[in-house]
Amino acid sequence: MEQNNKTVRVVWNGNSLICPAGTVLGDLMQAGGHGHMPCGGHGKCGKCRVTVTGEVSDPTEDEKRALSPDELAEGIRLACRVTVLGDCAVTTAEQGRGQIVTHGAFPASMSDKELDPSWSGYGVAIDIGTTTLAARLYGREGKLLSETSRLNPQSAWGADVISRMEAAMAGNGGKIARITRRALDGMLTELAEAASVETSDIGSVVITGNTVMLHLLTETNVEPLTHAPFAAERLFGEVLTAKELGLTALAPDAPVYLPPCIAAFIGADTVTATLASDLREIPETALLCDIGTNGEMVLWHEGTLYACSTAAGPAFEGAGISMGMSGRVGAIDRVWVRDGSIEAHVIGGGDPVGLCGSGLVDAVAALLDTELLDETGYLEDDPVCISEPVTLIQEDIRAVQLAKSAIHAGMRTLIHTARLDCGDVVTLYIAGGFGSYLDVKNAGKIGLLPEELTDRVTVLGNAALTGAAMLLLCEELRAVCERLAKDTRVVELATNPVFVSEYMERMMF
């Protein structure tokens, strides 16, 4: 009891923190955005590794399973399982920003629009992704002045939106909102400094993101999103002030536009990506897909937009895989077969540390080519080496099967709903960071994409951010987006017999 009143010093990456004895390091990680915990701090993923010296609790059974005796001897621990008993020092590995996609070209229709920003000075477009944050600074004439990105610090509460909603409902909603706003303030400052302007001169901001991300940012109750009928408390399409949002880098009255969402799990990012794709401006049938933790898809056919969302899980974002990671230095991002042997490329050169999403897709395709993996997903050698010391295990393959079948089945269900087949789709637009690095042929080979569409793919980059920039520079498009969100036909997948059938069938390689 006496120890509960004791305060201790934790030196985290050189910065001193004072906290009560008995504090779990994972709680400090969440509060400070010092790392990520894909499983939400439940001791399952083994990815919140830190190096600890000083007075802390003994290793738990979860740690003994996740860490080797040599790692434990070196002081490597799982932050979510370490309790602070006295003064200690903690070091986390530098994650870096990795390969976060901020680019994306304006569509042809934008050249016909007259820029009409109502703001003076400068404007900023921001995309709050589940895994990453990306932003661009523009001048009134539409010139891109600077851009920046970083990992979403919300990952300290889990890799997926479900974990974060659970954390918010458990009383952490304020913390999640504050750490997100702190990251956005930091990005706004970086953008301004890179362009040699003042943040006080930023006259307008547009922030896009999926429905959950916008709920967490605005501290809106997420409970209705967690169960049927999945009715969002807010679908946005709102202008708030920087002060109302808690963004301190801007002038308090600076307007911030949050574009409309379509449904609980089809967010503003899908709306702005659809805008950036020019989907509604083309005569032919086309499909837009953003592959991430959630796979959002939009089909355009004869004047109607159909949309759906499927929970793919975080496998393609580097989480949920035994040696998965984001696309940063040390990640294997490309894999191929040469003379019967598997070869790999590592971001930044040097020894590999893990596999990012694009490398994972390539690795599975390579295992199929070398017949180390069969069509049912059975792995001949478990674990199998991709590039020493990086391996894949049977559970990783199962995670890929679940994720890729969800994406593939969602696409085919949308197409079926419109009474079409894949042959009717003229263009498949791929949006988002993962899609920008994806080897499309390998994606078809493993069944992530329908193989018959792989030669019709156009990669858009960060289309959600591009669409947000369009709304920043041309305010008349906001009404277009709001009509788009209202008029889109939502296709529910959970009880859809076509989706269920396709999901089971696409589990095979």
- Quick one: 256 and 212 in the same domain? yes
Q: What is the pLDDT of residue 14?
A: 77
In-domain check, residue 414: no
- Residue-wise pLDDT for 487-501, tens only, equals 999 999 988 999 999
Number of domains in the chain: 3
- Quick one: 141 and 273 in the same domain? yes
- Quick one: 382 and 338 in the same domain? yes
- Quick one: 119 and 81 in the same domain? no
In-domain check, residue 186: yes
The secondary structure of residue 8, as a DSSP letter, is: E
Judged against a pLDDT cut of 80, whether residue 484 lies above it is answered with yes
In-domain check, residue 284: no
User: How confident is the prediction for the chain on average, in pLDDT?
Assistant: 91
- Quick one: 83 and 176 in the same domain? no
Among 340, 357, 392, the domain boundary falls at 392
Q: How far apart are CA 485 and CA 483, in angstroms?
A: 5
**37 compared with 347, residue with greater pLDDT:** 347
Report the candidate in 234, 135, 139, 223 with the shortest Cα–Cα distance to residue 185.
135
Residue range(s) defining the domain that contains residue 348: 323-392
- Residue-wise pLDDT for 293-317, tens only, equals 788 999 999 999 999 999 887 888 8
In-domain check, residue 446: no
**201 compared with 117, residue with greater pLDDT:** 201
Q: Please, are residues 309 and 333 in contact by the beta-carbon 8 Å criterion?
A: no
Judged against a pLDDT cut of 70, whether residue 264 lies above it is answered with yes
Judged against a pLDDT cut of 90, whether residue 433 lies above it is answered with no
Among 62, 91, 120, the domain boundary falls at 91
In-domain check, residue 188: yes
Among 392, 425, 441, the domain boundary falls at 392
- Quick one: 274 and 139 in the same domain? yes
Give the model's confidence band at 1: pLDDT under 50 very low, under 70 low, under 90 confident, else very high. very low
In-domain check, residue 72: yes
Q: What is the pLDDT of residue 241?
A: 97
**SS3 of residue 250 by DSSP:** coil
**436 compared with 334, residue with greater pLDDT:** 334
Judged against a pLDDT cut of 70, whether residue 98 lies above it is answered with no
Q: Supply 268's token pair.
A: 């503003």
Mean pLDDT of 164-180: 94
- Quick one: 30 and 158 in the same domain? no
- Quick one: 165 and 245 in the same domain? yes
- Residue-wise pLDDT for 125-140, tens only, equals 999 998 889 999 999 8
Q: What is the pLDDT of residue 97?
A: 52
**How many Cβ atoms from other residues are within 10 Å of residue 374's Cβ?**
13
Mean pLDDT of 87-92: 87
Query: Among 96-100, 150-154, 438-442, where is mean pLDDT lowest?
Result: 96-100
Angle in degrees, 0-180, between the axes of helices 394-417 and 357-369, rounded to the nearest 10: 100
Judged against a pLDDT cut of 50, whether residue 2 lies above it is answered with no
In-domain check, residue 201: yes
Give the model's confidence band at 3: pLDDT under 50 very low, under 70 low, under 90 confident, else very high. very low
- Quick one: 172 and 255 in the same domain? yes
- Residue-wise pLDDT for 62-83, tens only, equals 998 888 888 888 888 999 999 9
In-domain check, residue 35: yes
- Quick one: 185 and 255 in the same domain? yes
The secondary structure of residue 317, as a DSSP letter, is: G
Alpha helix (H) residue ranges in 332-373: 357-369
- Quick one: 58 and 192 in the same domain? no
**77 compared with 326, residue with greater pLDDT:** 77
Q: What is the pLDDT of residue 122?
A: 96
Q: What is the pLDDT of residue 23?
A: 92
CATH number where 148 lies: 3.30.420.480
CATH number where 12 lies: 3.10.20.30
- Quick one: 59 and 171 in the same domain? no
